[in-house]
Structure 1
Amino acid sequence: MRTGLARDLGIGLLCLVALLALPVLFPHPSLRDFLIYVIAYGLLAMSLNLLVGLTGLVSFGHAAYFASGAYVFGLLMQGGAVSIPVAMLAAVGGTALLALVIGAICVRLKEIYFSFITLAFQMFIHSIILTWVELTGGDQGLRGGIPRPPFLGIDLGEAGTLYGFCAVVFVLCLLVMRQVWQSPFGYTLRMIRDNPARANFLGVDVVRMKLGVFVLAGIMASVAGIIMALFVSGAFPEFGFWTTSGEAIFMIMLGGTQVFLGPVIGAFLLQLLNHYVTIWTHHHGLVLGIVILAIVLGLRRGVADYAAAWLAERRAASRPAAVPGPAETPAPAETKAVG
């Protein structure tokens, strides 16, 4: 595990360097904005994949924690009494508590019942956002913007600094999820996904394990919401609507569930499609649906999962066939004497 951690830290550092270098090599502001969108929604999809790909829990209401992080952070910053790091920690802690309460109910249900109860909680939270106008601004969202006061010499009011901050937070969250993915906890979740009855027979507390990963997924989704709130300087009801959860599921379908970075690849593809399709046609929903259907029905898996399986097949085909050793060489057949 120590070797794996060192390798993951090295890969994470390389990814961070690449993310920081892209705006320097291509300094157009639109690229930086596009990458922040990918970072926020990629982190949302990665957090959902902790449930879908790792544990086999399909949540239709995951955007509730995305909205919770954004709104709690935005309200604290508008109050002006705390710094950005304190507001981020409070938003993450509040969302963890929310996920703990909701998860304690949801994880006891199975399959489609779990999916629909998560959707019900999301719609409940969305209705609170719409109706509590004095606090949330209703359908207009948080009005007045979100202040970005400097902290520790870091000024997030500058676009380049904000992008660098988002990139660092993104990579740190990926490293945390990677360690969970490769840990004994992660393999226990895979066992629960594949055979919960056997996991329970072996002494695994299935409900507690599911609740733990449910809270962790909510925490990571709240960080994604904080990044988006910082970027757009606000929080809006769409953050907690069912379509945002649907987009996260689309990203997972596009990228894949079994390759760790598959959801990030899916987020990149979806944002790229949204960007170009909306430029060329008003029927972007129709075109996007056709593309997703073509990938899902054509490849029968996400792009990253398909590429990983193809590479594995190529490696297996390129391996030389085993040559039998001297002890394995069959003895020559005896010849009959011709009399």
Structure 2
Amino acid sequence: MRAGLIRDLAVALVSLGVLLALPALFPQPALRDFLIYFFAYGLLAMSLNLLVGLTGLVSFGHAAYFASGAYAFGLLMQSGRVSVPLAALAAIGGTALLALVIGAICVRLKEIYFAFITLAFQMFIHSIIVTWVSLTGGDQGLRGGIPRPPFLGIDLNDARVLYGACAVLFVLCVLAMRQVSQSPFGYTLRMIRDNPARANFLGVNVAAAKLGIFVFAGAMASVGGLILALFVSGAYPEFAFWTTSGEAIFMIMLGGTKLFLGPLVGTLLLQTLNHYVTIYTEYHGLVLGTVILLIVLGLRRGIADTLYDTLRQRRAPRPAASPPPASSPAVAATADDLAKGRTV
């Protein structure tokens, strides 16, 4: 585990260096904007995959925690009483507490019942956001923007500094999710996914383990909402709508659930399609639906999973050809006599 941690830290540092270098190599503001969207929705998809791919819990309401992080952070910053780091920590902690309350109810249900009750809770939270106009702004979202006062010499009003802060948050959260997935707790979740009855027989508290990963996934999703709220300087009811959870499911389907970074591949593909398709045609829904159908029906798994399996099959050593079975002396003699025209 120590060797794996050192390797993951090295990969995280290299990845952070590449992300920070990209705006310097390509200074167009559009690239920074695209990458910040990628960070936000990538964390949403990867945190959902902790439930779907790692634990076998299909949630249709994961965007509720994405929106919770955005609204909690925005409201705290609009109060003017806390700094950016404290507001971020409070938003993540508050979302984790919300996930704990909801998860305590949801994790006791199975399969389709779990999926639909998570959707019900998400729509309940969405209705609160829309109807509590005095607090959330209703359909218009948080009005007045989100202040970004400097802290510790860091001024998030600078677009480059904001991008760097979002990149650091993104890499730290991905690293944290990686450690959880590779920990003994992560392998316990895999056992629950594959055979919950056997896990329970071996003494695993299945409900507690599911609740633990549910809360952690909700907290990670809230960081994605926080990043998006910082970038757009606001929070909107669409963050908690069912279509946002649907987009996260699409990202996982496009990228795959087997590889840890598979959802990021799906996020990159979906965000790229959203960006370019909407430029060239107004029928972006038709194009996106066609692409998703082709990948799901053609590959029957995510792109990253397909590439991984293909490379593994190519690198796998081919089995050596087995030698022909040795003939017994009597059979060999008989064959030799027949070749010479004699009978035995």
Deviation of 1:14 after TM superposition, in Å, equals 1.1
With normalisation by structure 1, the TM-score equals 0.96
SS in 1 for 2:142: coil
- Residue number in structure 2 paired with 1:298: 298
| Counterpart secondary structure, 1:152 | coil
Q: Residue 171 of structure 1 aligns with which residue?
A: 171
1:125-154 Cα offsets, whole Å, 9 max, x none, are 000000110100000000000011111111
Q: Which residue in the other structure is 1:313 paired with?
A: 313
- Alpha-carbon distance in structure 2 between the residues aligned to 1:329 and 1:178: 49
User: CA separation in 2, counterparts of 1:134 and 1:152?
Assistant: 33
Partner of 1:272: 272
**2:255 aligned residue:** 255
Question: Which of 313, 330, 336 in structure 1 is aligned with 2:333?
Answer: 336
1 CA distance for matches of 2:38 and 2:115? 25
Encode CA deviations 1:174-216: one digit per residue, 9 max, x unaligned.
1100011111101110110111111111110000000000000
- Map Cα deviations across residues 13-72 of structure 1 (whole Å, 9 max, x no partner): 111111111111110000100000011000100000000000010000000000000000
Partner of 1:12: 12
Distance 1:176 1:323 in 2: 46
Taking the aligned partners of 2:122 and 2:321, their CA distance within structure 1 comes to 60
1:233 counterpart letter in structure 2? S
Task: Report the equivalent of 1:69.
Answer: 69
1:284-316 residue CA offsets vs partner (Å, 9 max, x unmatched): 111100000001111110000111111111111
Q: Which residue of 1 aligns with 2:208?
A: 208
Structure 2: state its 5+ residue gaps: 338-343
Q: Which amino acid aligns with 1:221?
A: A
Tell me how far apart the structure 1 counterparts of residues 225 and 76 of structure 2 sit (CA, whole Å): 14
Q: Which amino acid in the other structure matches residue 205 of structure 2?
A: D
AA at the equivalent of 1:336: A
Shift of residue 331 of structure 1? 6.3
User: Helix, strand or coil: the match of 2:282?
Assistant: coil
* Number of the residue aligned with 2:341: none
Cα shift readout 1:200-243 (whole Å, capped 9, x = no counterpart) = 11110000000000000000000000000000000000000000
1:98 has 2:98 as partner: yes
Q: Which residue does 2:186 correspond to in 1?
A: 186
Deviation string for 1:89-125 (max 9, x for gaps)? 1001100100000000000000000000000000000
In 2 relative to 1, CA 331–298 (structure 1 residues): closer, same or farther, beyond 3 Å? closer
Give per-residue Cα distances to partners, 1:227-284, cap 9 Å, x unaligned: 0000000000000000000000000001001110111111110000001110111111
Q: Distance in 1 between matches of 2:199 and 2:270?
A: 36
Q: Give, as a single letter, the amino acid of the residue that structure 1 aligns with 2:84.
A: I
Secondary structure of the equivalent of 2:333?
A: coil
Which whole-Å CA distance do the structure 2 matches of 1:314 and 1:331 have between them? 32
The residue matched to 1:336 in structure 2 has which SS?
helix
2:197 equivalent to 1:231: no
How many residue pairs were aligned? 334
- Quote the residue 1:53 is aligned against: 53
Task: State the one-letter code of the partner of 1:140.
Answer: Q
Equivalent-residue separation in structure 1 for 2:61 and 2:44 (angstroms): 12
Percent identity, aligned pairs only?
76
Structure 2 distance, partners of 1:287, 1:97, is 39
Shift of 1:320: 5.1
Give 2:29's aligned residue: 29
Distance 2:109 2:321 in 1: 53
Q: CA deviation at 1:330?
A: 7.2
Question: SS of the counterpart of 2:203?
Answer: coil
Per the TM alignment, residue 321 of structure 1 is displaced from its structure 2 partner at its CA by 3.9
Task: Give the Cα separation in 1 of the matches to 2:126 and 2:306.
Answer: 36
For residues 198 and 126 of structure 1, the distance between their equivalents in structure 2, rounded to whole angstroms, comes to 38
Q: Which runs of no fewer than 5 residues in structure 1 stay unpaired?
A: none
Q: What RMSD in Å do the two structures reach over aligned CA positions?
A: 1.5
CA positional deviation for 1:329: 10
1:198 aligns with 2:198: yes
Counterpart secondary structure, 1:151: coil
**TM-score (structure 2 length as normaliser):** 0.94
**Which protein shows a greater Rg?**
2
SS state of the match for residue 260, structure 2? coil
What is aligned with 2:245?
A: 245
Q: Per the alignment, in what secondary structure is the counterpart of residue 153 of structure 1?
A: coil
- Counterpart CA distance in 1 for 2:183 and 2:274 is 35
**What residue is the counterpart of 1:111 in the other structure?**
111
- Displacement, 1:323? 8.1
Rounded to whole Å, the distance in 1 between the matches of 2:169 and 2:192 is: 30
- Residue 322 of structure 1 and its aligned partner are, at CA, apart by 4.6
